[in-house]
Amino acid sequence: MGEELKVIVFALGSEEYGIEVDKVRTIERLSPITRVPKTATFIKGVINLRGVVVPVIDLRGRFNLTETATTENSRIIVVSVADIEVGFIVDSANDVIDIDTDTIDLPPEIVGGIKAKYLRGIAKLGEGRLLIMLNLSEVLNKNEIIQLEQLEV
């Protein structure tokens, strides 16, 4: 048995993803988003999170998946990694589960169109259920955004 890891499970399309619970500050329903001009398209804008202005990213857009309209189930998962606080728009937030770190395998090259560098690994939950663990520091890598900004200009 490896270490126990508590993760928040959320969905994008038919895939299930996981983020360590200690990186998650809060899960919110969708609130009005203020667009921020001249940024990457996946940055939807900023929201007022109880007095704090927090940027919001469409996780589908971040992974180059086709963006879909938000629904009643859509949620904003606010994560906080190394001083950076960002909200992810996800299709739904489903569960909090414990997983055994031993069950996490290295990710294959590509998962549903997501590059391997964004992934920490894939956890097998049994009954054919797979959980894609995100590599948050890579998802929030700002260098990539800067490149995108330059492309747009």
Considering the complex, what minimum distance in angstroms separates the CB of residue 9 from another protein? 24
The site for another protein (CB under 8 A) is made up of 32, 34-39, 43, 45-48, 51-55, 83-86, 140, 142
By beta-carbon proximity to another protein, the closer residue of 38 and 127 is: 38
Whether the Cβ atoms of residue 104 and residue 133 lie closer than 8 Å to each other: yes
Place of tokens 């994560």: 79
Considering the complex, what minimum distance in angstroms separates the CB of residue 2 from another protein? 32
By beta-carbon proximity to another protein, the closer residue of 85 and 100 is: 85
Angle formed at CA 22 by CA 33 and CA 100, multiple of 5 degrees = 125
Considering the complex, what minimum distance in angstroms separates the CB of residue 37 from another protein? 4
Rama region for 47: left / alpha / beta (φ>0; ψ in -120 to 50; rest)? beta
Kindly state the greatest CA–CA separation across the chain: 51
Whether the Cβ atoms of residue 132 and residue 125 lie closer than 8 Å to each other: no
By beta-carbon proximity to another protein, the closer residue of 51 and 128 is: 51
Considering the complex, what minimum distance in angstroms separates the CB of residue 51 from another protein? 5
